[in-house]
Amino acid sequence: MTSAATLPRPTAGYRRVVECMGTVFSFDIRTPGVGAAAVDEAEQWLRDVDATFSTYRADSEISRLERGEITMRQCSADVRTILAECEHLAVETGGWFSMYATGRLDPSGLVKGWAIERASDILARHGSIAHSVNGGGDVQCAGDAAVGRPWRTGIAHPLLPGRLAGVVVGTGLAVATSGSAERGAHVLDPHTGRPPDGLASVTVVGRRLAYTDAYATAAYAMGHGAQDFVEGLAGYAAFGVRVDGAMWCTSGWGNETGGSAG
Amino acid sequence: MKRVLLSTFGTVAGLIALLTFKSQGHPLTTTGALPSAGLPGSGSSSTPTTAPPAGGDTSGGSSSAPPPAASSSSAKAASRTVAGDAVETRYGVVQVQVTVSGNRIDNVSFLQLTAFDGRSQEINGAAAPILLQETLSAQSAHIDNVSGASYTTDGYLQSLQSALDKAGVR
Amino acid sequence: MASAISQGTAPLHLSPSRPLRLDPRVALGMIAAGALAVIALWWQDTFFVQGLGDWLTNAGRITGLLAGYAVVVLLALMARVPALERGVGTDRLARWHAMGGRYTVCLSVAHTLLIIWGYAVAAHTGVVHETGTLLTGYADVMMATVALGLLIAVGIASARAARRRLRYETWHFVHLYTYLAIALAFSHQFATGGDFVSNLKARVLWSVLYVVVAALLVWYRLLAPVRDLVRHDLRVAGVRRETAEMVSVYVSGRNLEAMRAESGQFFRWRFLTRGLWWAANPYSLSAAPRPDLLRITVKVAGDHSAALLNLQPGTRVIAEGPSGGFTAARRRRRRVLLIGGGVGITPIRALFETIPAGTSDITLLYRANRPEDLVLKHELDELAQHRRAHVHYLVGPIKRGANDHLSAQRLRALVPDIADRDVFLCGPEAMMSVTRQSLELAGVPTRHIHSESFVF
């Protein structure tokens, strides 16, 4: 595979849709010459992650850890990494991101974004410098969608199905949205155990999806405090839609969004 | 010969005029220059500290210089990120964000929103329904993908993303 | 128009019922509006231009868009659309096409260079490497590159220096390759054009533009003439030698009024017989068109016209047209001066027959080098008598200065109120440029001088 700076090809390229982890992953590669082989490896990676981390599978490491069948030391490096990061995030977000929000061990707020980020890295290792991976509404992009044209990620409007609340444009961005629109009350306020009120959805934009996704989860749980929280994060920006339809965003849309990757 | 010169000059002048217009309108103002240096320990803007199982870590497809802020966590950041003025466009209010190092502009990106200023929200509180009606339709916004609250496999089928995926499949 | 104008006792002829005529300024306005729309497409797709790579790439995009648009405009100009032929005039259309063609080739070259350079800067590689990447990474770009090569070749072959050396047929054959170039380059517009990639509406509109122009071409240049052949049953009725050098060909048909030809116009004639069928040569009508008869009078010069002498009655004819804007519709003044020289007397003779005028409102000047060169003289004399018009035969060699037959002094002497007349002028290039100068010297405003040049 060429390692040269081949240009993304707008109406060609390679696309695939993969069902995994109870959701759907959309691969969109714009770099010519990178195709099935890369996505095959990325797909396998996602399935491996699902096998390891899914709380819906009784034989996943996470489930077994939860039941006490294995100890932390016996877990794979990935699991230990993830759990360590979750701890760190809990501290950083003042508890608003927690792997125990549902009452059981559930690091999926970090795992999905992290899995997508790694999948994007797999594509990059196969030579892609322009692609996007969308897993269930969380997006990791690399490069531009076409020469001189950055990726345009629409933000689904949480209150008006089929419409967009805004569009995020940038190079190599990670875009994560958390809200109640789809799955109902799947995000719970860890402090109260109930769905947060105040926000219909919040979108956090950063460079890499693992943390972006985690921050989005935390921000949504925070509700009214989300804006100040993301303001305090260097390298991230957020855009929120309140339950009454009003919208806000953090100032200057932060650092590191659309950095010179790709 | 005169016509040749005239048409050549005319074309070049026209191109320069068009391009100049498009490169202006966003004066750089430092609205409290935001630090862009490396983040305290979290490594969130660069690769995480542990190696992923699948192999060497590469920041997503970068083929050129490494991201300006990832490396230096020194106090004096080599690059600065500044926000331009918000400008009215047909999509709503656009604000440009520029990463500058020294005198050179490293990167420009920008955001489009229908409304962004918290204060204008209060003033226009009663106008909230109008704001909703200005929301974009997926067709006219020319988007590549959609970010939204998580969808399940069933939910995907109704989602905007699935419409985009279907259109892109050949 | 003044009330004194009447048809006189001109013989039965056709008066076409106001066929559609597109004014040249309107045509130019439409072309310019299209160009602005194309630039607007780029404008609304582009948000911010920053850095050398962006500047180059976007300049490349603009020139590419304009070239893609210019190409269909050029084709449309040559589609033989009657409204354009009548309104703008065939010779002016050809001039626009030639100028526009040169400009378009330059735009295409500029587009290519700017894009390569811009992409190279954006990808931080060298220009040579980038060219290789572009060529090998996309099939469409390879085709577009071949197209560019063809365009450049056609451009070179069309340069004046080259055209003089090439036979008309050879030049025409090379020129046909532009169709191939356009077809090859079309797909890369959509595959790699930043303004089309995610804009379905733009792609649809652009395709519609190309399809419409293609349809015009196919209809007016291919299908309509064949339809006319069948519908009007055009055939050679006879051939008559007028003078040593001039031959008249009579073409019979039916319902010829439906072709809406006007005096002063010409057709491109394709005689379907061995040796002549592959060429469509332009010859003016030398008499007013009649519902069942058209006449052309041709100077026997090259192989083609010499072969006309041997045309057999009954030979089928395809008449592509009518073309040309050298018609009575250009006239603005009550009084008219017709000046013809050499083979240019043919459309003048047709106009002389039908241009509306009253007593003494028309004067005709016929310039020839020798008395035996005067053709259709008896017709002109008869018409002059019927229409109460004046005819002057200016016969003799060319003289210098004020003594020349077509000097300003002589013209003013022959036609004292020349500055108040509409002047219709047709003849060899040299004669026409001399006459134009004289007319201007004699005080005729340029907008009242109408001419048609056969060399285009």
Three-state SS for C11-34 is CCCCCCCCCCCCCHHHHHHHHHHH
Q: Which chain B residues touch A151 with a CB distance below 8 Å?
A: 144-145
CB interface of A with B, residues 46-75, below 8 Å = none
A122 touches chain B (CB under 8 A): yes
pTM of the model: 0.56
Q: What are phi and psi of C391, to 5 degrees?
A: -125, 135
- Does the CA dihedral A64-A67-A69-A72 come out positive or negative? positive
Rg (CA), chain C: 26
Give the pLDDT of residue A116: 96
Give Dmax (Cα) for chain A: 53
pLDDT of B77: 44
Q: What is the pLDDT of residue B140?
A: 64
Q: Is the pLDDT of residue B57 over 90?
A: no
Set of chain B residues whose Cβ sits within 8 Å of the Cβ of C43: 18, 22
- What's the confidence (pLDDT) of residue C65? 95
Closest CA to C93 of C278, C260, C282, C227: C282
Distance between CA atoms of residues A176 and A115, nearest Å:
13
Within 8 A of B104 by CB-CB distance, chain C residues are none
| Contact at CB, A7 and C133, closer than 8 angstroms | yes
Confirm if C233 and C255 have CB atoms less than 8 A apart: no
Rounded to two decimals, the ipTM of the complex is 0.81
Least CA distance to B32: which residue of chain A? A252
Which of C292, C265, C279, C347 has the alpha carbon at shortest distance from C318?
C279
For chain A, which chains pass the contact test of at least 3 CB pairs under 8 Å?
B, C
| Sign (positive or negative) of CA dihedral B105, B101, C122, C109 | positive
Contact criterion met (CB < 8 Å) for A147 and C122? yes
Please tell me the least confidently modeled range out of A248-252, C61-65, C444-448. Answer: A248-252
Q: Where are the beta strands (DSSP E) in chain B?
A: 28-34, 79-89, 92-101, 104-113, 136-137, 145-147
B87 contact C CB<8A: no
Confidence of residue B84 (pLDDT cuts 50, 70, 90): low
Q: How many CB atoms lie within 10 A of CB C214?
A: 17
Chain C residues in contact with B3 (beta carbon < 8 A): 99
Q: Crossing angle of helices C24-45/B2-22, nearest 10°?
A: 30
- B22/C59 touch (CB, cutoff 8 Å), yes or no: no
Q: How far is CA A167 from CA B25, B34, B144, in A?
A: 21, 23, 10
Distance, CA of C338 to CA of C366 (rounded, Å): 8
- DSSP label at residue C418: G
Name residue, tokens 């970010």: B147
Q: Which of C198, C199, C203 has the highest number of chain A CBs within 10 A, making it the mutation to test binding with A?
A: C198
Please report the DSSP string for C58-121 in residue order.
HHHHHHHHHHHHHHHHHHHHTS--HHHHHHT-HHHHHHHHHHHHHHHHHHHHHHHHHHHHHHHH
Confidence tier at C164 by pLDDT (50, 70, 90): confident
State the smallest CA–CA distance between residue A60 and chain B in angstroms. Answer: 17
How far apart CA B169 and CA B167 sit, in angstroms, is 6
Structural tokens at position C127: 């220009």
Q: Mind telling me how many Å the CA of C46 is from chain B's nearest CA? A: 8
Cβ of B23 and C59 within 8 Å? no
Touching B (3+ Cβ pairs <8 A), the chains are A, C
Segment C171-202, tens digit of pLDDT: 778 888 999 999 999 988 887 777 786 678 88
Q: Which of residues 85-104 of A touch B (CB under 8 A)?
A: 85, 88, 92
**Better pLDDT: C143 or B40:** C143
User: What local confidence, expressed as pLDDT, does residue A78 receive?
Assistant: 87
Are B142 and C199 a contacting pair at CB < 8 A? yes
Compare CB distances from B110 to C43, C48, C106 and report the shortest one's residue.
Answer: C48
Strands A151-156 and B145-147: parallel
- pLDDT score at B129: 17
Q: Angle at which helices C168-175 and C139-158 pack, to 10 degrees?
A: 160
Helix (H) or strand (E) segment spanning residue A23: strand A23-29
Residue pair B36/C61 in contact (Cβ under 8 Å)? The answer is no
Rounded Cα gap, residues A153 and A174, in angstroms: 10
Residue C100 CB neighbours (<10 A): 17
- Indicate if the pLDDT at residue C1 is higher than 70: no
**Mutant choice from B20, B22, B64, B145 vs C, greatest count of C C-beta within 10 A:** B22
Average pLDDT over residues C425-449: 91
Residues of A within 8 A of B150 (CB-CB) are 23, 112, 136-138, 178, 182-183, 186
Contact B84, B98 (CB under 8 A): yes
- DSSP secondary structure code for residue C10 in this structure: P
Give one word for C235, left, alpha or beta, with left for phi > 0 and alpha for psi -120 to 50: beta
CB contact under 8 A, C191 and A32: no
Task: Give the residue from A90, A207, A111, A139 showing the smallest Cα distance to B39.
Answer: A207
Tokens for A104, please give them: 């059981």
Q: Do C191 and A149 make contact, defined as CB atoms within 8 angstroms?
A: no
Dihedral of alpha carbons C201, C207, C210, C216, sign: negative
**Cβ separation of B168 and A28 shorter than 8 Å?**
yes
pLDDT classification of C71: cutoffs 50, 70, 90: very high
Local confidence pLDDT in tens for the 262 residues of chain A: 222 222 333 446 789 999 999 899 999 998 877 888 999 999 999 999 999 999 888 889 988 888 888 888 888 888 888 888 888 888 888 888 888 877 788 888 899 999 999 999 999 888 888 899 999 999 999 988 877 677 888 888 887 777 788 888 877 889 999 987 544 445 666 676 666 667 889 999 888 899 999 999 999 988 888 988 988 887 788 888 887 777 788 864 533 322 222 2
Relative to beta strand C266-271, strand C281-284 is: antiparallel
Helices A77-92 and A209-222, axial angle in degrees (round to 10): 40
Note which residues in 13-72 of chain A have CB less than 8 A from chain C.
32-33
* CA–CA gap between residue B126 and residue B137 (Å, rounded): 23
Q: What is the pLDDT of residues C289-305, one digit of tens each?
A: 888 889 999 988 777 77
Residue range C352-394, pLDDT digits in tens: 999 988 888 899 999 998 998 899 988 898 889 888 899 999 9
pLDDT band at C307; cut points 50, 70, 90? confident
Hey, what are A181's tokens?
């629109």
The kind and range of the H/E element at B168 are helix B160-168
Touching C: which chains, 3+ CB pairs < 8 A? A, B
Instruction: Find, among B47, B37, B34, the residue nearest to A209 by Cα.
Output: B47
- Which residues of chain B neighbour C198 with C-beta distances below 8 Å? 142, 144
**A245 to chain C, closest Cα gap in Å:** 27
Q: What is the pLDDT of residues C351-361, one digit of tens each?
A: 999 998 888 88
Q: How far is CA B103 from CA B80, B99, B109, C99, C306, in A?
A: 10, 10, 17, 45, 76
B94-127 confidence digits (pLDDT tens): 455 555 666 555 555 544 333 333 323 222 222 1
Give the number of C-alpha atoms closer than 13 A to the C-alpha of residue C240, restricted to the C-beta side: 12
Whole-number Å distance between alpha carbons of A218 and C205: 46
| Cα B41-A179-A106 angle, rounded to 5 deg | 55
H helices of C313-389, in order, are 345-354, 377-387
Q: What is the pLDDT of residues C88-119, one digit of tens each?
A: 988 899 889 989 999 999 999 999 999 899 88
Give C52→chain A minimum CA distance, Å. 12
Hey, is the C-beta of A12 within 8 angstroms of any chain C C-beta? yes
Please give, rounded to a whole number of angstroms, the shortest distance from the CA of B114 to a CA of chain C: 16
Instruction: Say if the Cβ atoms of A147 and C138 lie within 8 Å.
Output: no
Among C358, C410, C411, C413, smallest CA distance to C389 is for: C358
Cβ contacts (< 8 Å) between B144 and chain C: which residues?
A: 198
Q: Which residue of A has its CA nearest to C191?
A: A11
How deeply is C162 buried, as exposed, middle or buried, from its count of CB atoms within 10 A (0-12, 13-18, 19+)? middle
Contacts of B61 (CB under 8 A, 6+ apart): A120, A123, A124, A128, A129, A130, A131, A142, A143, A172, A261, A262
| Residue of C46, C47, C54, C65 for testing the chain B interface, max B β-carbons within 10 Å | C47
Residue A148 touches chain C, beta carbons under 8 Å: yes
B 13-32 near C (Cβ less than 8 A) = 15, 18-19, 22-23, 26
Q: What is the interface size between B and C, counted as CB pairs within 8 Å?
A: 44
Q: Decide which of C190 and C11 is more confident.
A: C190
Q: Closest Cα to residue B61, out of A119, C146, A195?
A: A119
Inspect the interface and report whether the beta carbons of A7 and C119 lie closer than 8 Å. yes
> Does the pLDDT value for residue C332 go beyond 90?
no
| CA proximity to C307, closest of C264, C249, C229 | C249
Going by pLDDT thresholds of 50, 70 and 90, the confidence category of residue B80 is low
Say how far apart CA C260 and CA C289 lie, in whole Å.
Answer: 9
Angstrom distance (rounded) from CA C158 to CA C164: 9
